[in-house]
Chains A and B, each alone.
Chain A
Amino acid sequence: MTPVSSKLYTVPTIFPQVLAFLNSILLLNQLNQVVVIATGYNSCDYVFDSASQNQNQRAERLLQNLEEFIDKDESLCREDSVKGPGFSLLSGSLSMALCYIQKVFRSGPLHPQPRVSLNIGITIISIGGVHRMKCYFGGFWGQEICEILCLHGSPDGPGQYVAVMNSIFSAQRSMVPIDSCVIGAQHSAFLQQASYITGGVYLKPQHLDGLLQCLLTVFATDLHSRSFLLLPKPAGVDFRASCFCHKRTIDMGYICSVCLSIFCEHQKKCSTCGSIFGQAQTQDTSMPDRKGKAPMV
């Protein structure tokens, strides 16, 4: 765990680096494709698709769409200001990325395109975080090889635990590795798990000034080459779950033996599947359904 620099990184400092990274992905293969999805507090949206846009105004278009998106998201923020700034909608953008990937997968054989191992990328940019920190979340996928990279700066929203985990498992099922590059202050347990489960790379660069070099060195590597390269390995993965009842991140809790729902305190009835639980044998050494957790990283 490295001490976090107090400097805040905002869109103008990170944008050129991310753009350069997108350009380099597009440069590598003519068939590569990049899509950018922005994630805010209240919404997420596609802001860029290299397949449908003229390459000459790539940067301008992306920046313009991004600004529009931020304005829209902030106006949504004001409308229901009860909650205030919360957490960026990681689960939403992940689902959107996976939907896009599925669309590409399913339409794949119909395309008369040659079967070349290529990476097409989606990049999802998320804006969020308690300190108004700008966060990015990105992904790459190919017609046959799909890959998601997350550039993420917001703290995890424990409330999204179930949705994020579902996205991770569907990514795993469709063989889409999720890479994570955390540019925020804290490690992200969600993304650690996402990369761990899907076989991607998790990295939290120490200095964001060299973000581009880090992106080019680690995340621009194609999946095939990864098998014989030494890429950064996580020091440990935070496997802690959030409970379904209060959305708290917990070390130890109760789980339903029928549907595996997680609760932080004893319930009479499972809120997910409706199973009736027996009496808890409290304060005993034999706590029922105790769930051990890996130590925090």
Chain B
Amino acid sequence: MPQVKIVARNFMDMVASLPAMKLDKLYENSFICEAILRSLPPLAKKYVLQLLYIDGPVVATWLEEWVLADGVSKHRVAIDRLIQLRVLTENLERKKEATYRFNPTFQRNLQNHIAQGGILPREPMPSNITVRLPSLEDLDAYAVEQWEFFLLHLISSTEAEKSTNISSSMMKVFQRGLLSQKDDKEPPRLTESGFQFLVRLMDTNAQLWYIVREYISNCEERGLDTADLISFLLELSFHVTGEAYNSNTLTDVQRNIIKDLADLGLVKLQQGRKESWFIPTKLVTNLSISLADSSSRKQGFVVVETNFRVYAYSQSKLHCEILRLFSRIEYQLPNLIVGAINKESLYKAFQNGISAEQIISFLQQNAHPRVTERIPSVPENVTDQMRLWESDLNRVEMTPAHLYDEFPSRDVFDSACDFAREYGGLLWENSKKMRIVVKAEIFTQMKEFLRSHKQ
């Protein structure tokens, strides 16, 4: 199973890793081009605009000479990204300078967009149809509730009262990498990346992209075309929040997808008398924003006191579950969760692979506005103690190594010592008994060195 890294940007990496043919086909949809452009780093966006109306290849130095010395790395990142996404293609001719050429489909789509302004992907429901639409607040509340419920279900299926419509096999897909189950009797435990997922959790967009990514790769296994799915999702993000769109504008595949998306809170489905509608929520329309810079964060709610007490002003069950991962929940009031961090609760967290640093950063990131004013927002004695408890567990450091002895002569021993020292791999030496312990990393170099000395 591939190691999961929880980074929002990864979704675009997935797009970038699509085969060239598919990617070029994807760019025929102007919404994809738009979303891709928005996902780029700022400098890359600038380059796209700069090159947009230039036909034919552009010499690389033409772009480079705009960049000051300390921006070179950023320039490289931007250009690499553009080449990776096949927005630019690089031509390296012998003895000539590198040239970049704009992807013609991408270029044409963006030019059209700039000349004509954006077009909505679908016409919203005409206002003369009298159907009661949810207000924006209701819709937001619906989206948040649906999403939190999904997350709660994800971490502990026992806690969730009502069952979701998401099939358990789908849930398994989402859970893989986030939870680990040693045997069937034990309840599944959160893995390190699972906790990271939750810690960054307050950043809904990043999580959303992670889930969407898993969803897409799962659909791929079921034989759906990834490119179709990606283009549909990105297209959805260009709809207007709160407007109702007719479901019969969707294809059959899309209609199936949208049911799953409704369970995640991305859209709300509404059944009219004759026709059914779907209403995009804030979650889905924010999708293309979050690709670029997902620094959005909800207001903090946690207060940590010097006596290791944790007060969380929250009604969310999900928050309670997260706190339960590393603290002992003492009591719960309607809008307040009170817990205590102690050695036992932290050891439990450490066993699950959650580090003290992660917990501290979680507490800091979600500090209540009242305590964010003071620095540090989490009392120092608490953070120090948490780090100490963690280092208690790691008193012994393990380094894979090899022991060498029975050297033929002192000369060989000395030169072997010097050699290992040079490579920074000498861990221990005993010159009387002529024994050394060398890190396993330089085993091959060591072997060659000793072989050359044997002769």
Which chain B residues have a beta carbon within 8 Å of chain A's beta carbons? 34, 37-38, 42-43, 45-46, 49-50, 52-53, 65-68, 70-71, 74, 110, 113-120, 205, 285-286, 288-289, 292-297
Contacts and interface: CB of A to CB of B under 8 A. Distances in A.
Contacts of B117: 19, 23, 26, 55-56, 58-59
Contacts of B45: 28, 222
Contacts of B43: 225, 229
A56 B113 contact: no
A276 B367 CA distance: 59
Contact of B289 (A24, A116, A220, A221): A116
Contacts of A221: 46
A250 to B, nearest CB: 38
Contacts of A30: 38, 285-286, 288-289
B290 to A, nearest CB: 8
B114 A115 contact: no
Interface residues of A, number: 32
7 contacts: A19-B117, A28-B38, A56-B117, A114-B289, A229-B66, A229-B71, A230-B67
Contacts of B52: 24, 216
Interface string A254-275: 0000000000000000000000
Contact of A56 (B38, B68, B119, B293): B119
Contact of A222 (B42, B50, B116, B297): B42
Closest 9 CB pairs of A and B: A228-B71, A114-B296, A58-B117, A216-B49, A55-B118, A23-B114, A20-B114, A217-B50, A225-B42
Contacts of A26: 117-118
A43 B37 CA distance: 38
A27 interface: yes
A252 interface: no
Given A217-B50, A228-B74, A230-B67, A115 B113 contact: no
Contacts of A59: 116-117
A174 interface: no
Contacts of B67: 228-230
Contacts of A227: 71
A116 B293 CA distance: 7
B66 A230 contact: yes
A212 B49 CA distance: 10
A116 B38 contact: no
A117 interface: yes
Contacts of B74: 225, 228
A120 to B, nearest CB: 13
Given A29-B38, A56-B120, 19 more contacts: A16-B115, A19-B117, A20-B114, A24-B52, A26-B118, A27-B34, A27-B37, A27-B118, A29-B292, A114-B289, A115-B296, A116-B293, A216-B50, A217-B49, A217-B50, A220-B49, A229-B43, A229-B66, A230-B68
Contacts of A212: 53
A10 interface: no
B298 to A, nearest CB: 9
Given A23-B114, A23-B115, A230-B65, A225 B46 contact: yes
Nearest to A220: B49
A84 to B, nearest CB: 37
Considering residues A20, A27, A59, which has the most beta carbons from chain B within 10 angstroms of its beta carbon? A27
Interface of A: 16, 19-20, 23-24, 26-31, 55-56, 58-59, 114-117, 212-213, 216-217, 220-222, 224-225, 227-230
A115 B297 contact: yes
B296 A24 contact: no
A56 to B, nearest CB: 6
Contacts of A222: 42, 45-46
A20 B114 CA distance: 5
Contacts of B42: 222, 224-225
A212 B52 CA distance: 11
A55 B120 contact: yes
A23 B117 CA distance: 6
A97 B118 CA distance: 25
A217 B114 CA distance: 15
Nearest to A114: B296
A220 B46 contact: yes
A28 B114 contact: no
Nearest to A212: B53
A248 to B, nearest CB: 41
B313 to A, nearest CB: 18
A217 B54 CA distance: 12
Nearest to A22: B117
Considering residues B74, B117, B286, B295, which has the most beta carbons from chain A within 10 angstroms of its beta carbon? B117
Contacts of B66: 229-230
A29 B114 contact: no
Nearest to B33: A27
B293 A117 contact: yes
A117 B45 CA distance: 14
A59 B286 CA distance: 25
B295 A116 contact: yes
Contacts of B294: 114
Contact of A115 (B38, B53, B115, B295): B295
B119 to A, nearest CB: 6
Contacts of B46: 220-222, 225, 229
A174 to B, nearest CB: 22
B68 A229 contact: yes
B53 A213 contact: yes
Contacts of B110: 27
Contacts of B53: 212-213, 216
Contacts of A16: 115
Contacts of B115: 16, 20, 23
Considering residues A16, A221, A225, A227, which has the most beta carbons from chain B within 10 angstroms of its beta carbon? A225
A274 B51 CA distance: 58
A27 B30 CA distance: 12
A116 B289 CA distance: 9
Contacts of B119: 55-56
B288 to A, nearest CB: 6
Given A26-B118, A28-B37, A59-B117, A228 B295 contact: no
B31 to A, nearest CB: 11
A182 B295 CA distance: 36
Contacts of A56: 117-120
